Structure 1
Amino acid sequence: FSMTFADKTTLGQSAILGILPGAHLTQNQFNWLGTIFYLSYLVFEFPQNRALQYFPVGKWMSINIFVWAVALLCHAACHSFGALFAVRFILGACEGAITPGFMIVTSMFYTREEQTRRVGYWFLMNGFAIVFLGFVSFGLLHTSTGGFMPWQWLMIITGLITFLTSIAFWFLFPDSPTSAWFLTAEERVLVIERIKVNQAGVENKTWKKDQFIETLKDPKVWIMALYAAVSCVFLPLSNQRQIIVSQFGFSPIVTTLMGCVDGLVEVVCILIGITLARFIGRGYAGSLMYLPGILGAILVNALPSDNRIGLLFSYWVAIFSICPFAIFLGWVPALTAGHTKRTTTNAIIMIFYAIGNAAGPFMWKKQYQPRNHVPWAVIACCSFISGLLLLALRFTLASENKRRAASHESDSLDDVYVEQKDDSGAVHEAKVDRAFLDLTDKQNVKFRYIL
Structure 2
Amino acid sequence: MTQPVATKEMVSDEKTSSSDRSTEVIDAVYVDEAQDDVLNTVNAQYTEADYKRVLRKADRILLPFMWLCAGIQQADKASISTQATFGLLQDTNLVGQQFSWLTTAFYISYLVGEAPSNYLMQRLGVNKPLFVSLFLWGVVVLCIAFAQNFTQLVALRSLQGLLECTIAPALVLITASFYVSREHAMRSIIWSTSNPGLDIITQLIMYGIGSATQKHANGFGPWRWISVFLGSWTIVTSLFALLFLGTPSEIRWLSKEEKHITAARVASSQTGSDRGQKYEWHWDQVLDAFRDPQTYFFFFAYIVNSLPNGGTAAFGNLVFVSFGFTNLETIVKCIIPLDLVTIAWFLVVGALTIKWPHTRFLFMVVSTIPGFVGLLALGLLPMEGTRMLWIRWGLYLMTATTRVTGLLMWTLFPSNVAGRTKKSVIGTVMFIAYCVGGAVGGQTFRAEWAPRYIPALILCGIMYGVVCALFIAWRFYYIMENKRRAKVIEEMGMTPEQSAHQGKINGESDMTDRQNIHFKYSV
- TM-score in same-fold range (> 0.5): yes
Q: Please give the alpha-carbon distance, in whole angstroms, between the structure 2 residues aligned to 1:378 and 1:292.
A: 15
Amino acid at match of 2:287: I
Q: In the alignment, what sits opposite 2:59?
A: none
Per-residue displacement from partner, 1:271-319 (whole Å, max 9, x unpaired)?
Answer: 2333343425111110011111112112322251320111011111122
Amino acid at match of 1:292: P
Shift of 1:369: 2.4
Q: In the alignment, what sits opposite 1:202?
A: 273
Contact persistence 2:321–2:327 (CA under 8 A): yes
2:117 to 48, 65, 73: 48
Q: Does 1:437 find its partner at 2:437?
A: no
Percent identical among aligned pairs is 26
Shift of 1:386: 0.6
Amino acid at match of 1:96: C
Contact persistence 2:342–2:401 (CA under 8 A): yes
Per-residue displacement from partner, 1:101-147 (whole Å, max 9, x unpaired)?
Answer: 11111111100111011111112210013212321221112223511
Amino acid at match of 1:330: T
Amino acid at match of 1:240: F
Q: In the alignment, what sits opposite 1:141?
A: 210
How many equivalent pairs are there? 433
Q: TM-score, normalised on structure 2?
A: 0.80
Contact persistence 1:277–1:284 (CA under 8 A): no
Q: Does 1:292 find its partner at 2:370?
A: yes
Q: Please give the alpha-carbon distance, in whole angstroms, between the structure 2 residues aligned to 1:74 and 1:233.
A: 28
Amino acid at match of 2:351: T
Q: In the alignment, what sits opposite 2:313?
A: 238
Q: Please give the alpha-carbon distance, in whole angstroms, between the structure 1 residues aligned to 2:315 and 2:306.
A: 14
Q: TM-score, normalised on structure 1?
A: 0.92
SS at match of 2:307: coil
Q: Does 1:165 find its partner at 2:237?
A: yes
Amino acid at match of 2:146: A
Amino acid at match of 2:163: C
Amino acid at match of 1:162: T
Q: In the alignment, what sits opposite 2:452?
A: 371
Q: Please give the alpha-carbon distance, in whole angstroms, between the structure 2 residues aligned to 1:357 and 1:213.
A: 27
Per-residue displacement from partner, 1:213-237 (whole Å, max 9, x unpaired)?
Answer: 1101111111111000000011121
Shift of 1:27: 4.4
Shift of 1:324: 1.2
Q: Which segments of structure 1 move beyond 3 Å, counting only runs of 4 or more?
A: 275-278, 408-412, 432-435
Q: Please give the alpha-carbon distance, in whole angstroms, between the structure 2 residues aligned to 1:297 and 1:277.
A: 27
Could you list the runs of 5+ residues in structure 2 that have no partner in the other structure? 1-69, 499-503
Q: Within 5 Å, give how 1:356-395 maps onto structure 2.
A: 356-395=437-476
Q: Please give the alpha-carbon distance, in whole angstroms, between the structure 1 residues aligned to 2:515 and 2:106.
A: 37
Distance 1:411 1:67, change over 3 A: farther
Shift of 1:262: 2.0
Q: Does 1:263 find its partner at 2:339?
A: yes
Per-residue displacement from partner, 1:23-81 (whole Å, max 9, x unpaired)?
Answer: 11124100000000000011111111111101120211110011100110110110100
Amino acid at match of 1:268: A
Q: Please give the alpha-carbon distance, in whole angstroms, between the structure 2 residues aligned to 1:197 and 1:328.
A: 21
Shift of 1:166: 0.8
1:19 to 75, 78, 88: 88
Contact persistence 2:131–2:242 (CA under 8 A): yes
Q: Please give the alpha-carbon distance, in whole angstroms, between the structure 2 residues aligned to 1:178 and 1:364.
A: 45
Q: In the alignment, what sits opposite 1:421?
A: none
Q: Does 1:117 find its partner at 2:189?
A: no
Amino acid at match of 2:268: V
Q: Please give the alpha-carbon distance, in whole angstroms, between the structure 2 residues aligned to 1:440 and 1:410.
A: 20
Q: In the alignment, what sits opposite 1:340?
A: 421
Q: Please give the alpha-carbon distance, in whole angstroms, between the structure 2 residues aligned to 1:93 and 1:179.
A: 24
SS at match of 1:407: helix
Could you list the runs of 5+ residues in structure 1 that have no partner in the other structure? 415-431
